Amino acid sequence: MPPICILLGLLVFSLHAPPWSSASDTLEEGQALAVGGKLISRNGKFALGFFQPGTNSSKSPSATTGWYLAIWFNKIPVFTTVWVANRERPVTGEPELKLSRDGNLAILDHATESIIWSTRAVNRTETKTNTSAVLQNSGNLVIQGPPDVVLWQSFDYATDVALPNAKIGWNKLTGLNRVGVSKKSLIDPGLGSYSVGLLTNGTRGVVLKHRDPSLVYWSWSPDKSGMQIPALKTLLYIIPQTRGLVTPWYVNNNEEEYYFYNSSDESSSTFLLLDMSGQMRFNVWSQDKQSWQSLFVQPVDPCRSPDTCGPFTVCNGNSQPFCDCMEGFSRESPRDWDLGDRTGGCTRNTPLDCTANTNTTSSTDIFRPISPVALPRNPQSIQDATNQSTCTQACVSSCSCTAYSYQNGVCTIWNGELFSVKQNDGNEILSEDVLYLRLSAKDLQSLRKNKTRPNIGVVTAASIIGFVLLMIVLLLLIWRKRFRWCGAPLNGSSKSSGGIVAFRYSDLSHATKNFSEKLGAGGFGSVFRGVLSDLTMIAVKRLDGARQGEKQFRAEVSSIGLIQHINLVKLIGFCCEGDKRLLVYEHMPNGSLDAQLFQSSASATVLNWSSRYQIAIGVARGLSYLHQSCHECIIHCDIKPENILLDTSFIPKIADFGMAAFVGRDFSRVLTTFRGTVGYLAPEWISGVPITPKVDVYSFGMVLLEIISGTRNSTQVQSSSGNHVHVAYFPVQAINKLREGDVRSLVDPCLHDDFNLDEAERVCKVACWCIQDDELHRPTMGEVVRVLEGLQELDMPPMPSLLAAITGCSHVPSVL
């Protein structure tokens, strides 16, 4: 063949640029990748190609969505993208990825013959050699020129996912800031409402913020050693699946400042995700469950993210779903809500009735109270409103006013849409304010009609159900007489039985292998491991002693059986058959806190500081929920490490409500019988004054001190001569060292100085305030949560008078 023919053939080949082989990890200059083709990393873990959201495929077409260039996990059956190039510009025609002769990657739309997206990073004057695009084993797409010089990489242009070895941070020389942005919805990978990135203003730290408007709602900084980011550092220790697999790093030099994490197990699949709700999630693929498991979430409360539910909504972190419309409103777009996009929020069912003339405003609108809630953002204060009536009138007189609040003599109104209204769900301590929502009078009438209008179908169904329930009651009475069931009804049994299961004794005996695997024992009975027929792991507490066992049984079912919280142990069910009293709980694989803190074995794993700090916050949240968010205030009365259980992820769960007490909000009830454990008892148990939730605060303070030291507060110390033994009381040492500024010497030496000193000082300060003699000087558990989360500061605590008597100090505590 003549040479000229060969040259013409090569020219035609390069102009057509056929799709590149899907078996390769490399795209050379002049080659193209079309729909159906893909690059696969050499380890087979990642793939790059075009896909359409909603089709769960990179091949099948869809008329409703465009094409996106993405990188995804190649071997995982759940289609999961980790990077998307053209997030804001889907290709509606025939897409093609091409490595141009100028060395840049570009997405072309053949239908419009336009460039949709390009790297525009390679300057041919800088490199005169050939370039290639390579999908690396890490999931990083790079443009490189020999000898392996990286000219551009996808890791520098984050989406909503950070893979191992991907940097979160900035280049001080070029100004490049790698900021991750959440996606809009499950089928729209476009730029969503939230971002995560490194501060570049000289302040060290990472922030999560709402993008429009710009509102920072979560931030953290490296510890003083400058090594690790706390949110990722936690994974090292508290998540068993990540121990030895995940290592987080913090780097700060003259050229760059960034965070990243790496994994020693290349076979595992993990990624850090900023989800559509504004939460950071560390996800690990579970082969057993064939799904992604979120092992770490920050912030824990989804309602912490501003505007996560859109306008005219209420957020409740304990509900599923956690967003709901305000009364008188409906979802703007139910389909978008189903896809995770709630930015449209809710819209009014009935327009407001308001007419504004030159000097007067006419309106028949009414106001509906919503409480207790955290008030919306962007309030407007009304100075001349001296009472609630004038505050109401101030809102009525403006057609744009949609709500008002009158608290402690202060009038506040809101104009337009209402954002970030949060219900007090106990996950985060909020002020219990009342928001008066403006509704049309017609809307209120329809709401009343819906509540009062009889429904023939409902009445008929209720009659049938009532008859069936009556028959069940008769059968239960017969059954109760036959099997000698409980001699008296449980306190509030109509409430406590809802949602929990009544087990037969024979079933629990079978589940526990005839109570052969004992987990532990206490003053009222023993706890056994068990497995239900659906393979659910359980812990069965078998209560001993007729009187005390019955008393504890009733207390636990009527307290923990009524409530649910992430930091309270879940009561699954009970057995009350004859004289047998058993309680069935969710199983806690990591046992109790005392077993983790006070292990005697030298080979035992030491509970690291990150775990201890998260446990302290979790227990505080659980107690705050009991004290402030339940219908009646519940005082646990026996907070100690033995009653704090730890799940697989070392999330703490408060347990053992056998001594719990319900009290009115005025705390007027006097408990005459000692409740609790020596060493954790508040002084007021002896004085006979009315007991308040502050007894739990005192006990929690004692637990915090043991978390710091890793030992019991009271320990026996033998003299050097060995002639006598005295008791060393750690709280005395703690408050003295705190006031001297030497907290470091208080921390468990088994940690080998691997802890955050700021956090340790904060915990020690909180603990010393909690153990003040006078309950009025102690903080509430809500305040404790805010302090531990870094949202509130505390002054230096005074020396409690009881400790002062021990040390010979004469300081008297002042009011907090």
pLDDT at 501 over 60: yes
Residue type, 61: P
Range in 132-136, 489-493, 660-664, 742-746 with the lowest mean pLDDT: 489-493
Q: Would you name the residues annotated as active-site residues?
A: 638
φ, ψ at 139 (rounded to 5°): 90, 10
pTM above 0.95, yes or no: no
pLDDT at 355 over 70: yes
Residues 6 or more apart whose Cβ sits within 8 Å of residue 637 = 659, 660, 661, 671, 675, 676, 695, 696
Residue 63, classified by CB atoms within 10 Å of its CB into exposed (0-12), middle (13-18) or buried (19+), is exposed
**In the structure encoding, which two tokens stand for residue 632, read together?**
């009646």
Residue 470, classified by CB atoms within 10 Å of its CB into exposed (0-12), middle (13-18) or buried (19+), is exposed
Q: Give the Cα separation of 579 and 507 in Å (integer).
A: 16
**In the structure encoding, which two tokens stand for residue 668, read together?**
């007027």
Three-state DSSP state, 476: helix
Mean pLDDT of 432-440: 89
**In the structure encoding, which two tokens stand for residue 584, read together?**
């069935």
**8 A C-beta contact, residue 405 and residue 435:** yes
Query: pLDDT for 531-555, tens place per residue?
Result: 988 788 899 988 875 545 566 677 6
Look at residues 292, 196, 288, 300 and name the one whose alpha carbon lies nearest to residue 238: 300
CA distances from 473 to 477, 478, 480, 504 (A): 6, 9, 10, 18
Which fold is adopted by the domain 484-586?
Phosphorylase Kinase; domain 1 (3.30.200)
Mean pLDDT of 441-469: 63
pLDDT at 158 over 80: yes
**8 A C-beta contact, residue 440 and residue 351:** yes
Instruction: Determine whether domain 593-807 maps to CATH 1.10.510.10.
Output: yes
Q: Give residue limits of the domains in the chain.
A: 14-153, 158-300, 313-451, 484-586, 593-807
Which fold is adopted by the domain 14-153?
Agglutinin, subunit A (2.90.10)
Confidence of residue 502 (pLDDT cuts 50, 70, 90): confident
Look at residues 690, 565, 694, 701 and name the one whose alpha carbon lies nearest to residue 635: 694
Residue 447 has a pLDDT of 60
pLDDT at 126 over 80: no
Choice between 59 and 758, residue whose per-residue pLDDT is larger:
758
**In the structure encoding, which two tokens stand for residue 340, read together?**
């995770």
**In the structure encoding, which two tokens stand for residue 391, read together?**
């505050």
Residue 135 has a pLDDT of 96
Choice between 816 and 285, residue whose per-residue pLDDT is larger:
285
Residue 360 has a pLDDT of 76
CA distances from 619 to 207, 235, 457, 478 (A): 25, 19, 46, 43
Q: Do domains 14-153 and 158-300 have the same CATH topology?
A: yes
Q: Are strands 180-185 and 291-298 parallel, antiparallel or unpaired?
A: unpaired
In terms of average pLDDT, the best of 142-156, 521-535, 537-551 is: 142-156
pLDDT at 62 over 50: no
Residue 454 has a pLDDT of 52
Mean pLDDT of 403-413: 92
Residue 372, classified by CB atoms within 10 Å of its CB into exposed (0-12), middle (13-18) or buried (19+), is middle
Residue 113 has a pLDDT of 79
The fraction of the chain above a pLDDT of 70, given in percent, is: 75
Query: pLDDT for 367-379, tens place per residue?
Result: 999 888 889 999 9
pLDDT at 728 over 50: yes
Cα 637-643-644 angle, rounded to 5 deg: 115
**In the structure encoding, which two tokens stand for residue 16, read together?**
């057509």
Beta-strand ranges (E) seen in 41-121 are: 46-51, 68-73, 81-84, 95-99, 105-109, 114-118
Query: pLDDT for 166-225, tens place per residue?
Result: 998 889 888 899 999 999 999 999 999 999 998 887 677 788 899 988 998 887 766 544
pLDDT at 604 over 60: yes
Residue 742 has a pLDDT of 92
Residue 310 has a pLDDT of 94
CA distances from 617 to 441, 695, 766, 782 (A): 45, 18, 11, 11
Choice between 505 and 557, residue whose per-residue pLDDT is larger:
505
Q: Which CATH architecture has domain 158-300?
A: Orthogonal Prism (2.90)
**8 A C-beta contact, residue 438 and residue 365:** yes
Q: Give the Cα separation of 747 and 509 in Å (integer).
A: 44
**8 A C-beta contact, residue 746 and residue 768:** no
φ, ψ at 642 (rounded to 5°): -65, -25
pLDDT at 745 over 70: yes
Residue 814 has a pLDDT of 36
